[in-house]
Amino acid sequence: MRGPRRVHRAKLSDQIADDLRHWIARERLKPGDRLPNEKALIQHYGCAKGTLREALKGLEVQGLVKMQTGPNGGAEIQLVSIEAAMQQLRSYLHFQVLDFEQIYVVRRTLEVALAESVVGRLTEDQFTRLETNIHECIEARYRGDRTTGRRLEIEFHDILCESSNNPLLAFMCRFLNGLLRDLVEFRSDCYDEHEAFGQHNVGSHRELVAAFRAKDRRAVSRIMREHMCCAESFMKRLDAAFRSDLLSAG
């Protein structure tokens, strides 16, 4: 005879951590605000000190709080860093089957949307940095430094993310950029293809800067769309592949 199904309950520390997350959201706490002290939280939850500390440690690992020591110590709300959030996503994707074609299915749409979102929002300092980036890409090509060149080409797109007024769009673009910067390996060493890829990126980036300066939204959209399609084509011809270890990269 089959017995009753076993019910798996969440650990008390996980339940407390979850409740504290809801409390932080409900009370609209901001970075620098403090949670109640340890004694008050233990009394509120009716738990052991070790259980509460385990719950707070879980929130700290997530980057949501930072434990301060001393007489006025306790859990201080932190702004979750983009690096911490990206590492969580990389940890998830490490156990998935991922290839660069899947990246470009998403990137073709998001990069165009990002470019459109920053038209008229780029500062003069950012224009200077974009132009400097292009110059450094050209210098890297002349030196034959492909690794630096590829990294700089991605950084161009990271600069665009800074001006987006859509934090979710900017985050997703930064995340995809990080995967391409840190994890892609080119299994083809064809000099002509690598050189053509570099020339294409420099040319597209120059056209984008000109269109951004002219605040020409239609041109920006068209150039970025063509840029993404051509970049994907070059990745195929250069037999690009992701490294298997997403956990240690970044």
Residue 66 β-bridge partners = 76
Give the DSSP H/E element, type plus range, for residue 243.
none
Q: Quick one: tokens of 77?
A: 């709300």
- Within a 10 A sphere around the Cβ of 211, how many other Cβ atoms? 20
Distance CA 184, CA 190 (A): 16
Taking residues 167-195, report their average pLDDT: 88
Name the most confidently modeled range: 26-30, 32-36, 134-138.
Answer: 134-138
Torsions phi, psi for 50 (to 5 deg): -65, -35
Domains of the chain: which residue ranges? 12-77, 82-242
Q: Output the pTM of the full model.
A: 0.79
Confidence class for position 172, pLDDT limits 50, 70, 90: very high
| Token pair in block for residue 64 | 């949501």
Is pLDDT above 50 for 219?
yes
Dist CA 78 CA 64 (whole Å): 5
3-state class of 242 per DSSP? strand
Amino acid found at 131? E
Mean pLDDT of 49-66: 90
* Range 82-242: architecture per CATH: Up-down Bundle (1.20)
**What gap in Å lies between CA 86 and CA 66, rounded to an integer?**
19
Q: Which CATH architecture has domain 12-77?
A: Orthogonal Bundle (1.10)
Q: Which residue has the tokens 């110590």?
A: 73
Measured CA to CA, the distance from residue 185 to residue 242 in angstroms comes to: 6
CB atoms within 10 A of CB 243: 11
Who's near 89: CB < 8 A, 6+ residues apart? 175
Give the model confidence (pLDDT) of 65-108 as tens digits: 998 877 677 889 988 888 888 888 888 877 877 777 888 899 99
What pLDDT does residue 3 have? Answer: 45
